[in-house]
Amino acid sequence: MHRKGLVSIWFFIGVLLFIYGIIIVISDLTMETPHVIMADLRPGLWWGAFLTAIGAVYSVLFRPGRG
């Protein structure tokens, strides 16, 4: 499927999603939220956790040197 020495683009996408997810989680935990309706649901935390999980899955599935 891949030529020897090439890294799948999906690995890099997974790493980026993982990094962005961590950044969003940290920013949601550290920053004060303004008075917004339903701010107690913490959408940034959920979205960051989702991105982190998807990024981890992609990074593991498409890591270089696998198979």
Contact status, residue 64 vs residue 14, Cβ threshold 8 Å? no
Question: For 4-62, what is each residue's pLDDT tens digit?
Answer: 778 889 999 999 999 999 999 999 999 876 777 887 888 899 999 999 999 999 999 99
Question: Which of the two residues, 27 and 66, has the higher pLDDT score?
Answer: 27
**Domain spans of the chain, in order of start:** 9-61
Q: What pLDDT, on the 0 to 100 scale, is given for residue 16? A: 98
| Count of residues in the chain | 67
Q: How far are the Cα atoms of 22, 57, 66 from residue 43, in angstroms, in the given order?
A: 14, 21, 35
